[in-house]
Amino acid sequence: MLCVMAASVGRRDVIEGGGALDGHRELVLCLCGHRGRLASGSRDHTIKEWDVRTGRCVQTLEGHTGAIHALASLDGALYSGSDDGTIRRWSDDGRCAQVLCDDGGWIHCLVAFNRRLYSASHDDTIRCWDDAGQCIQVLRVKYLWVQCLYSFGGFLFSGGDDAAIQCWTKEGTCVRVLEGHTGSVRCLTEFDRRLYSISSDGSVRRWNVERGGECERVITVPSCIFYAGTIRKFGGSLFGAFGRYLCRWDVYGECVQEIGSITGDCCCLAEVGGYLHGGVGSSIRRWRVRGNY
């Protein structure tokens, strides 16, 4: 258990380990909150749903023939994307209710935007799917591989290998490009009405979307393994996992805590049921934050 003094408010906060959820046989690649549960996708081709209160695996979803790289919850349904080239919709009882085939191959990202499901695959496209499982829109991006998708402020944001972040309307028009990173953009998230991005260039950038996408701050994170970098909001702070390090920033972008005790590379983060969950190897570690922000 680690104690820090939050620089922004001068109060003591505590981050403590909340145990681990074990059951996957291989690397956990993605996490998602769904109907009050935690869903996890793994390289072992399965998805597991967890009761976060008890830490018990409620059910295992099987059907994909490749690693699960993306999960999304939309209108009460859970969707998964795999490197087998398919997107699957799952019913509450764990059955596969629908299979969506993407001509682009490996499904790397899924996100709910404008009450539709959007996917990015291992080509230069982002696809929009209707309720019947038909692709109704294809967005052509600037780069070969879209690394991340995020819905924020009425726009869809995409980041990829050309170091830029594109901003899309629901009509499929790119209205803005956020530039500044010099490496692949790996993850996007929202915190305190700002868009945050992490890149393989070794930095986290904070963007003010309301001011046309102005970059307000560049945060350098030392001694990190950036292929595994991911950032997520949790409580009153922003958390970033970089290899074996977990960092916490306040609303001013100041690092108020750094934890170097993770036992493996953390590939994904998600907040569900008052816990911050992280996929570490084949396990899911979790942390709880106590105190005032």
Q: How far is CA 99 from the centre of its chain?
A: 22
Alpha-carbon Rg for the chain, nearest whole angstrom, is 18
Q: Using the structure block, give the residue that is written with the tokens 């998230």.
A: 189
The helix, strand and coil proportions of the chain, stated in percent and rounded to the nearest 5, come to: 0, 60, 35
Angle at the Cα of 230 from the Cα atoms of 207 and 233, rounded to 5 degrees: 65
Q: How far is CA 89 from the centre of its chain?
A: 19
Written as tens digits, the pLDDT of the chain (293 aa) is 332 323 333 444 546 567 899 999 999 999 999 999 999 999 999 999 999 999 999 999 999 999 999 999 999 999 999 999 999 999 999 999 999 986 667 899 999 999 999 999 878 899 999 999 999 999 988 766 899 999 999 999 999 988 999 999 999 999 999 999 999 999 999 999 999 999 988 889 999 999 989 999 998 875 444 455 788 988 788 998 877 778 888 888 787 777 766 677 788 999 999 899 999 999 999 888 765 44
Give the pLDDT of residue 169. Answer: 97
Q: Is the pTM of this model over 0.85?
A: yes
Q: Using the structure block, give the residue that is written with the tokens 């597991």.
A: 48
| Structural domains of the chain in order of their starting residue, each with its CATH number | 2-291 (2.130.10.10)
Give the pLDDT of residue 247. Answer: 83
Give the pLDDT of residue 78. Answer: 98
Give the pLDDT of residue 185. Answer: 92
- DSSP label at residue 143: S
**Helix, strand, or coil (residue 210):** helix
Q: Using the structure block, give the residue that is written with the tokens 């170097």.
A: 260
